[in-house]
Structure 1
Amino acid sequence: MTRWPRATAPAWPVHAGVLAATVLAATSYALAGPHLRVVIFAMVTLVPVVTFAGALATGHLRGRPWIIATAGLVLLAGCMAFWSDWVPGHHFGRAEGRAADFGIASAHLLFLVGTAAALRRRGIGDLAGLLDAALFGVCVAGPAWAWLIAPRLTPTATTVGEMLALSDIAILAALISCLTRIGRRAAGARGPIGYLVLCSVATLGGHIAGTLTARHGSSAWTAIITMVAYLTIAAAAVHPAAPRITDPDGSAGQPSTQLPLLWIGAALCANPLIAMIQGLRGDDVASVVLPVCSMLAVPLVLLRLWQMSQLRRRAEATLAHHALHDELTGLRNRRHVVAEIDRALADLERCTLDEVTVILLDLDGFKPINDRFGHQAGDAVLRAVAARLTGAAGPDDVVGRLGGDEFLVLRRGPAPDDLPRLMTSLVGHPIEVGGARVQVGVSAGMAGALRGETIDRDILIGRADAAMYAEKAAHRRERDPVLR
């Protein structure tokens, strides 16, 4: 399916189109009469619906998130068509709590859900930063409401209306914080994300302008600012880089530092402090700040705590893994192997185990590979040997790397006499290293202890070591006739 516009197209036509459309819409609205203003505003509300639908139809935008976002825009346009005088008639920003407020808030929420889903891949590696940014935005909305908006509300404002308006403002503030953070990292998608930020800022500005001009002033500025929000969101859909929002190109941009905990703590304290001050003064204009902001902030805090606990759990699991495993091969390390031998010998002494077998293996011809092909090739050989030994061992056997090119296999029970030969044969197969085929030999020695036998770990390993070096000497004699 052909994309429109193409991803390689320049972005300046989009910028020029937004600027021209903004000037045309603002000038027409300012010069028009009351009835024509309603028509102009309704036409502007349809622009993002058309651009998003066109982008979806042509394949420029793909996926369910953008369909959900488009559904939110359709609902918003429907609300504006049904309550056509809501913005031109100076109801927007008054927090009256009417059905239009619920419809518009629902449309905003639906669009935000779709946009958040579209941005999920962009923020998947920065969950902590996005949660901090959202939390900071929600908490900053409280002081803005208490000091800027609430004192200027008209007597027609209701508690329900105030809660809806404050929720909308807080969510918009959180969205602006998150989009700004994502935009700093998403170098290839900064254009459309920048338009999403402008849309959110303009929507927030429309809220504030509607409140500030509710008592005295015209609704023209509220309508013009709101129309800017519609036009900028339309531009985000047709921007050439819009597909990169959901299809990251791998460029993470500059790494973002996390918000200092001091600022997050101060933001969390702001809303309770405002509520306390208003309570001491006997002023109820900020009465909705604490419950609304708390309902929005608490889930974010819980998510942040959950994320921190997950990080700690993964860190502990990683530390535990590295404490018991060899970093290069993933096998058990010397510490774990020695502890397992001690436990097996203790069970042997208590007669709860019939036999313990230890197989010690040392690679032959490994040093020349390291010298000729480098340490990376040597590491690849060690990993291949580890995988082959694991495949030859039993499911309950402990396979470990003691260090260098020395390996050990512990079996809690008897081992077939030909097990060392089987392991030697598997390890001796050619290994692909950097386009070359190399081959290493193996010298193996096996030693065991029986039920009731009291034996020291060092003695058991020493027996296997002696058997292994006897086989290594035999291999040398086979290669060098003079030693025979």
Structure 2
Amino acid sequence: MRWPRATAPAWIVHAGFLTCALVGGGAYALATPDTRVVIYMLVIVFSVALFGLALISGHLTHRRPWLLAISGLVLLLVGHLLWPHWVVDGHLGRGEAAPADLLIATAHGLFLAGAALGVRRRMSADAGGIVDATLFGVCAGSALWIWVFQPHLPDTATPAGQAQVLIDVLVLSAVAGCLLRMSVAATGAPRGTIGYLLITALLTGSGLATGALGMPHRDIWSGVLMLLAFLTIAAGAVHPGAPAMIEPQAVAERERTDGRFRLVWLGVALSVNPAIAAMQALRGDQGAGPLLPIATMLVIPLVLVRFNQLTGQRRRAEQVLAHQASHDELTGLFNRRRILAAIDQALAGPSDVIVLLCDLDGFKPVNDRHGHQAGDEVLQTVAARLTTAACPDSEVGRLGGDEFLVLCQGGTDLEVAALRERIRDAIRAPIELAGGPVSVGVTIGTARATAGCGLDRAGLVARADAEMYAGKPGRRHRSAA
């Protein structure tokens, strides 16, 4: 039996995490610096091993996002092996532009890539909401940088180091925004895994902030926070909800946001960094000015993506409305208004115009005996057969009820006669329904308007209508025009 199992109780994971957090965090806080190096490495190895077990056992499906995440963990392990005292001695988040800082930022970038792939698959029905959440995260990261991180960095922080810390803060904020959106939309078991991953991002950001703020005993606090982050990402991987976390989830188009609110939000997102720069100028603080464009470079592409999504949504909505205005909802054929307008357009052209008015025979008994749903299935089948039987350049529409019209431009009498036979043969074929096969017939009335004859649409359809009803003795004449 495979382990971890999706059917395992979640409390086992929670209990294991709390135990490891208390033991590992407590031991790290009480240990000497050299012992902390060993404890830190053991926790990373334990997290990588647990994560790897979840991958190898098949617990984690859709492996690409998880592989990117574990690659980040392995990269952090390599960094600790190369620079074992970097976090332990409190260098994290100090903006020193050391290779260890670059490696840590790269690992966080891998977490972002993994989160992006997972979010893209799970929240495919809420792509707009995910972009909004990412924008929120980046804007929040900009504010955190200006008012929390940058003012407290030491004088030894280099411009390159400050840029690394800023990018790290923005990446973690974007990940947190996406995961927060997922946690709000998620239901059931996946919420546990998403919650652990969200806590991972928050703990990692807190570890950076502890170093940047120069808090007392920051070497201990930064290390403990990072240890907890390693444990939470491993707990998320073995949580029973992990397999379902990346499965697509339908997100209803409910009251999330309307178009106007989203446009307002995009305006706010574009205004955050200029507003921060303006406040800095008013205070005479120009220290962080050169770094603001980095945040703006992340915000502007996201805003452009969001505008493209909104434009696409509007275009698709217009296409749906246009289709609904010109097509029959049940059969998908042209509706009465559209097919009659097509006749008017054809009569204005240089070619002969032929209309075939088709009325089903025996449809009412099918409807009465098998029900309206069966009747709808018959009409849909007839519509498909009419479309197949008609010439490629013909137009087919439903006038209403069980009456259809085929519009042709040009064609000899022999070709029209052959078309009539194809239509009759196609419609007479048995139609399979849940209650058994049924058959319907068709009576066809044909009328031709030669080029320049002056016959209008009403007269043309009336001729076809008269011929059609001539083949239905005893029925009262009705005008199809």
TM-score (norm 1): 0.91
Answer whether contact 1:361 1:406 (CA < 8 A) is retained. Answer: yes
> Which residue number in structure 1 is paired with residue 307 of structure 2?
305
Answer whether contact 2:448 2:460 (CA < 8 A) is retained. Answer: yes
Structure 1: state its 5+ residue gaps.
477-484
Residue 270 of structure 1 is aligned with which of 263, 269, 272? 272
CA RMSD, 1 decimal: 2.1
- Identity among equivalent pairs (%): 49
> Which residue number in structure 2 is paired with residue 376 of structure 1?
373
> Which residue number in structure 2 is paired with residue 158 of structure 1?
158
> Which residue number in structure 1 is paired with residue 389 of structure 2?
392
Q: In 2, Cα distance between the equivalents of 1:456 and 1:159? A: 79
Q: In 1, Cα distance between the equivalents of 2:305 and 2:129? A: 12
How far apart are 1:235 and its partner, in Å? 0.6
Q: In 2, Cα distance between the equivalents of 1:474 and 1:3? A: 75
Q: In 1, Cα distance between the equivalents of 2:290 and 2:224? A: 29
> Which residue number in structure 1 is paired with residue 296 of structure 2?
294
Per-residue CA deviations over 1:55-110 (Å, capped at 9, x if unaligned) read 12111113222222222221121112212111111110111122111111111111
> Which residue number in structure 2 is paired with residue 219 of structure 1?
219
1:195 aligns with 2:196: yes
1:243 alignment partner, SS class: helix
> Which residue number in structure 2 is paired with residue 421 of structure 1?
421
How far apart are 1:252 and its partner, in Å? 5.5
Alignment of 1:327-346 (within 5 A): 327-346=329-348
How far apart are 1:454 and its partner, in Å? 2.2
Q: In 2, Cα distance between the equivalents of 1:186 and 1:319? A: 31
> Which residue number in structure 2 is paired with residue 109 of structure 1?
109
Q: In 2, Cα distance between the equivalents of 1:160 and 1:374? A: 75
> Which residue number in structure 2 is paired with residue 208 of structure 1?
209
1:403 aligns with 2:400: yes
Answer whether contact 1:76 1:108 (CA < 8 A) is retained. Answer: no
Answer whether contact 1:186 1:252 (CA < 8 A) is retained. Answer: no
Per-residue CA deviations over 1:10-49 (Å, capped at 9, x if unaligned) read 1111111100000011111111101111111121122332
How far apart are 1:474 and its partner, in Å? 8.0
> Which residue number in structure 2 is paired with residue 123 of structure 1?
123
How far apart are 1:345 and its partner, in Å? 1.4
Q: In 1, Cα distance between the equivalents of 2:432 and 2:184? A: 42
Alignment of 1:167-178 (within 5 A): 167-178=167-178
2:410 alignment partner, SS class: coil
Structure 2: state its 5+ residue gaps.
477-481
Alignment of 1:426-437 (within 5 A): 426-437=426-437
Per-residue CA deviations over 1:334-373 (Å, capped at 9, x if unaligned) read 22211221122111xxxx32x2211001112222333333
Q: Which amino acid aligns with 2:64?
A: R
Q: In 1, Cα distance between the equivalents of 2:302 and 2:360? A: 55
Q: In 2, Cα distance between the equivalents of 1:77 and 1:401? A: 68
Q: Which amino acid aligns with 1:329?
A: T
Per-residue CA deviations over 1:379-414 (Å, capped at 9, x if unaligned) read 211111100101110111101111121100011112
1:5 alignment partner, SS class: coil
Q: In 1, Cα distance between the equivalents of 2:6 and 2:398? A: 51
Q: In 1, Cα distance between the equivalents of 2:418 and 2:466? A: 18
Q: In 1, Cα distance between the equivalents of 2:35 and 2:201? A: 26
2:417 alignment partner, SS class: coil
**Count of residue correspondences:** 468
Q: In 2, Cα distance between the equivalents of 1:413 and 1:254? A: 47
1:163 alignment partner, SS class: helix
How far apart are 1:267 and its partner, in Å? 4.4
> Which residue number in structure 2 is paired with residue 458 of structure 1?
458
